[in-house]
Amino acid sequence: MFSFGFFNMPNLITVLFIVNIVIALTIIFLERKNPSATLAWIMILFLLPIVGIVFYFLFSQNIARKKIFKLTKYEAEVLGGSLHEQTNSMINGSFEFTNKESKKWYDMIRLNQTNALAYFTQNNSISIITDGKHMFNSLLEDIKNAKETINITYYIVKYDSVGRTLIDALIEKAKEGVEVRLLLDAMGSRQINEKRLQDFINAGGKAAFFFPPKFKCLNMKLNYRNHRKLVVIDDEVGYLGGFNIANEYLGKVKKFGYWRDTHLKLTGGCVQDMNARFILDWRFASKEKLVMAQAYYNEPKEVGITGIQIVASGPDSPREEVKQGYLKMISSAKKNIYIQSPYFVPDASIMEALKTAVLCGVDVRIMIPCMPDHMFVYWATYSYVGILANLGAKIYIYDNGFLHAKTMAVDGEVGSIGSANFDIRSFRLNFEANAFIYDAEEVYKLESIFEEDMIKSHELTRSLYRNRPLIVKFKESVSRLLSDLL
């Protein structure tokens, strides 16, 4: 038998077993993870001792106790004071709402104010964009017209024809003297490095990477990514939603075909809140000492009456801000709930709220893609929507390419569009940003888009789901066990 003194096979197995026990006890007693996540990690550690240990150290760091985005004392006082003043004016009835949807959903606005520290603005105008070419062309045009600043955050920018077009456009603006900041997630945008951005940096552009690896081939924060897609130009125009920057998002990759996503172009006071979010992310990643208050230096233009709250969430906070917004919308629904998400792996609270809504007679419709880009996530998604289909929810499988939209519309009055999927990863692990929208006209557009997509989908009926093949049931069972880790 293999043996080198103490390091023989039986001793190594014993050591691995002890290490697994120590890690399991650490998970249970020190990290205070969600119970289902705890059980999933313990299962992996004991079934795959060596692989489980590696996975644990790569994917299971707990950063909830770390204060990543720090406000100065002055910033905390000013921003907290403004939010407190707005909240009090709503409580005492002196706040004037510009549309009836905002007033009706005051309790949800209050939730986002309290839980997410999200200021409510109602002087906004939005355009809902569902086509990648339209989004990219609009973005390039606004970049071309920029006069002072361009602040960009993306989870994915690839070094393909679309990514290089964006970088070239930013180089030109930097040469013109526009202050350009480009923040990329180090894992999602791993094709981009400082060498490939050298022309941009030489032109005067600034670049930073979120959670870059300390070692070239080993990133100890694989599980915590900046998934936000956020652009602010000249403090006046903002973009937020599901589109990243790569060929597939414009339908140029055969594997996915047409890429169906949802994005927002925004103007009004909410753009200041988006810019404040960017500054916080940028300060952490770049260490540049920007003043967050500069996001609010200019008086926002009165461009519309759409009520909006920009809600950000991430693993540094235990409050699950975007998820709580989703949960409030679902639990308050009286007529209908329309959800689109490429990944539907909800936690117990969201799942129970949806079940309750279905049983109460609310018209619950959920749309997912017809193809997986992450196999385990897809089959977990299939199992969860199957449960809801059995209860009476209407489940649609989008057949016209890949559905990547992250949207929800409720009762024709309130909606959400952003980067957060309906999955545990978006709720607890990724840094996300969503716009919560209070405006019947805009939410009606969101519902109409869903109904148009239904024409390009097939329904997963109760009978179809119950008669699924045995191999599908097996895939679902395995994937469900790993739900909290996907």
Assess whether 406 carries a catalytic annotation. yes
More confident residue, 19 or 459: 459
Question: Measured between alpha carbons, how far apart are the two ends of the chain, in Å?
Answer: 38
Angle 344-350-355 (CA atoms, 0-180°, nearest 5)? 95
Assess whether 84 carries a catalytic annotation. no
Q: Across residues 3-26, what is the average pLDDT?
A: 61
pLDDT tens readout for residues 373-382: 677 787 788 8
Assess whether 335 carries a catalytic annotation. no
- For the ranges 164-178, 309-323, 395-409, 460-474, the lowest mean pLDDT is seen at 460-474
Angle 198-201-206 (CA atoms, 0-180°, nearest 5)? 135
Which pTM does this prediction carry? 0.87
Assess whether 411 carries a catalytic annotation. yes
Catalytic residue selected from 411, 423, 439, 453 = 411
In this structure, the number of other CB atoms found within 10 A of the CB of residue 444 comes to 14
Report the pLDDT value the prediction gives residue 300, as an integer from 0 to 100. Answer: 80
Catalytic residue selected from 229, 323, 328, 475 = 229
Assess whether 374 carries a catalytic annotation. no
**pLDDT higher than 70, residue 52:** no
**Token match 């002890």: residue?**
18
Catalytic residue selected from 404, 423, 439, 453 = 404
**pLDDT higher than 60, residue 64:** no
**pLDDT higher than 60, residue 434:** yes
Q: Across residues 411-423, what is the average pLDDT?
A: 97
Q: Across residues 387-397, what is the average pLDDT?
A: 96
Catalytic residue selected from 33, 173, 221, 227 = 227
346 vs 339: CA distance, rounded Å? 12
Q: Strand 336-340 vs strand 407-410: parallel, antiparallel, or unpaired?
A: antiparallel
For the chain, give the mean pLDDT.
88
Helix, strand, or coil (residue 6): coil
With cut-offs at 50, 70 and 90, classify the pLDDT of residue 469. confident
**Torsion of the alpha carbons at 55, 56, 60 and 66, rounded to the nearest 10:** -120
Instruction: Tell whether the torsion through CA atoms of 102, 105, 106 and 111 is positive or negative.
Output: negative
Residues 151 and 174: beta-carbon distance below 8 Å: no
397 vs 381: CA distance, rounded Å? 11
Catalytic residue selected from 104, 133, 134, 234 = 234
Catalytic residue selected from 158, 173, 406, 475 = 406
pLDDT tens readout for residues 205-242: 999 999 887 766 555 556 789 999 999 999 999 999 99
Residues 200 and 207: beta-carbon distance below 8 Å: yes
- For the ranges 74-78, 171-175, 195-199, 247-251, the lowest mean pLDDT is seen at 74-78
